[in-house]
Amino acid sequence: MPERDAWAKLRPRSVRDWHRIKVLIGYIALLAIFFTAAFFFSHKQHEKIEQTWKSATAIIEDVRPTAVATVDTRRGGGMLYEVAILARYSSDGTEQQRWITVQQQLEPLGEAQLQAFRWKGKQCTVRWKPSDPNKVIAEVS
């Protein structure tokens, strides 16, 4: 089939076809704007935490997955887990050791156990708000 004939078959013929393409492009543009805004605000929040919160390097002593949600069990679903780490770090000259829930998406047990295996004994960054030292977050890579 010649190129010209192939292009003619692919090209929208009616006003309705052109309208569908415009609507599809509009939805794609809205999704791109949404994801860009979400990334931007997440990045700004992370920068604010890095600049205003105190931080320390911690050693991950232990890792424990905790079940927090159930996925539709009628079709082979299962439990979702959040991962908490036992971090040991120094804060204002005193040795601290506490369980900190890692901020990430919930995962199936296999993934949570894999993270426990990979993270145990590694270093991470622990951050806390100077005005509320009990609010602690851990950044594990």
Q: How many domains does the chain fold into?
A: 2
> 86 with 133, same domain?
yes
User: Where residue 60 sits, what CATH number does that domain have?
Assistant: 2.40.50
42 or 3: which leads in pLDDT: 42
Helix (H) or strand (E) holding 31: helix 15-52
CA distances for 140 relative to 27, 30, 63, 85, 125, angstroms: 35, 32, 12, 10, 7
Give the residue numbers spanning the domain of 72.
Answer: 53-139
pTM for this prediction: 0.65
pLDDT score at 55: 87
> 41 with 106, same domain?
no
Segment 66-90, tens digit of pLDDT: 888 887 767 777 888 898 999 999 8
> 44 with 72, same domain?
no
> 114 with 99, same domain?
yes
Residue 11 CB burial class (10 angstroms; 0-12, 13-18, ≥19):
exposed
Q: Please state the rounded mean pLDDT for residues 17-39.
A: 95
Where do the DSSP E strands lie in the chain?
A: 54-70, 79-91, 94-101, 123-129, 132-139
Segment 95-140, tens digit of pLDDT: 989 999 888 888 888 888 888 889 999 999 998 888 887 888 888 8
